[in-house]
Structure 1
Amino acid sequence: MTQIRTIAVVGAGSMGGGIAHLAAQSGFSVVLTDTLEPALERSLERIRQLQEKAVGKGKLTPAEAEETLARLTVTPRLEDVRSADFVIEAIIEDEGAKQALFRQLDGLCRPEVVLATNTSSIPITSIAAATTRAKQVVGMHFFNPPQVMRLVEVVRGYETDDATVALTTDLAKRMGKTTVEVKRDTPGFIVNRILVPQFIEAIRLVEEGVASKEDVDTAVKLGLNYPMGPFELQDFAGVDIGLHVMDVFFQETKDPRYAAPQSLRALIRAGRLGKKVNKGWYDYE
């Protein structure tokens, strides 16, 4: 089994930065790269703030916090992933963008290096098709925030081999995560396959005038013992992302259960007109 010492994370958004922070905390050398230098700066500052907060709460010593930061390198140069023993992609949820990136990674990384994607909805097989190493392409789906959420879905593409699944599972466990294996490359994997229809049904209840979004959230939290209601969770995760996942589900399956409600599209359109793409349900009263 490949010895993993250095992990490259591509994409310095909230997920990529969180995964990089988690990997550095877990003792790995980490290369965090993004073409947008401001994103790298924001991510590094967010990690510093979280480290300072942990020190203030007595969860880390100052020395431990410094050691974590010392293991983290940020760079706008994708070429710097050459040193990595394992790569985790966490860029925009767009199939074409991911395929283009994986094509580049395939040319940059050593032949034995596994390329993992943090996609929440795009087929692993489609991403792997852009490479010459489909057996070593795998889904490694963390949940937000990666430092806190305990689950990682390890997702097989059509050609992903057993060694890649075993290596990825072991790596996730070394980061303190519990893993589940998704044996077939199905849209949404496990969690989103269950969660997205709940989002759609919650929106339809409001559209039909059955209940307000506030009462739907209250009913789900108290009746199902969920920590957040479906509208709160959509706002937290990003309504744009939710719509994208619904559209991927529908395109892949043509199942009307996954057709995105019109009011969600209208909400996002209104947010864009207001120059804030990710306006959520609770931004409008």
Structure 2
Amino acid sequence: MRKKIVVHIGTHKTGTTTIQNVFETNRAELKTLGVLYPATNREPYPGLPKHTSVFHAMGNTESAEVERKILLEEFEKSNCKFMIISEEGLAEPRPGALRFFAPFTENYDIHVVAYLRRQDVFVESLYNQFVRERGEQRLISEFCRAPKIKSRLDYHGILTSWRELGTVSAFNFDSVKSRLSDSLLEAVGAPILNGHETRENVSPDMRIITALVYMHRTGLKFDRQAMLNTYKKVYTGQAVKKTILGANLRAEVLQWCAPSNEKLKSDFGVSFNNENPIESFYPNDIPELDAAFAALALMSAEGR
């Protein structure tokens, strides 16, 4: 029986940080179970518990060869039967990802694991992340219609391309979100950890995200994290708002994705519910002025 390389490709905003932290924290225990979670302390982001070095290297032939060599040396030295590589950027439809892993198929079995959210919910969560981490300036209507974003929503196409390398297991995130890391280990035939899981990287209120977008659009520099923290104080005690699309744009997104989702269900066994949130017809993308004034007052009172 050949050893197995497990490629966890995310997607974004499906508990990926939770899984990565579990595997990083429990690396020694995993190794006793025959599962290697290789070192994540290489550039470009050695402080993150994921394999950013793989994503960074896959666009350059020489760098990719060096990275593959490092991974295989660690794998063979470990005497483990499984090696898990986790990086949510691998779910982006880039041919470099497949080229990076293709050479492994000569001597190892490849098993790809992906977690999926219904595309309208996914695009809202991705927008939330892009605003917080990348300074996204587009309104949600522009963001979700952008070709590069729409390409991420064709789950069937993405998973089908990965199937060229080996086995693909896909899950509806909502059906396994209480035991993500163990669901991954089970899917690939590895021993499970039983527990050890705390949800990480929970997205903040969409009203905060809307305010940050308009601040980004001014072109002025500001302390994004400080502003985020201040707005969190302003909205403390209120129900968290997770949606922003509005009913019309949500329906548009789901209509785009319907053909792909039909094939996703038949080929990979993943389907999504039909429940929609109660919301207005149009995107909720205008900042609340009273909250903005409260944030300014709070920052002034704190001497910022």
Structure with greater strand percent: 1
* Same fold per superposition (TM over 0.5): no
If asked which structure has higher relative contact order (CA below 8 Å, sep 6+), I would say 2
- Sort the TM-score into its range (normalised by shorter chain): 0.3 to 0.5
TM-score (norm 1): 0.37
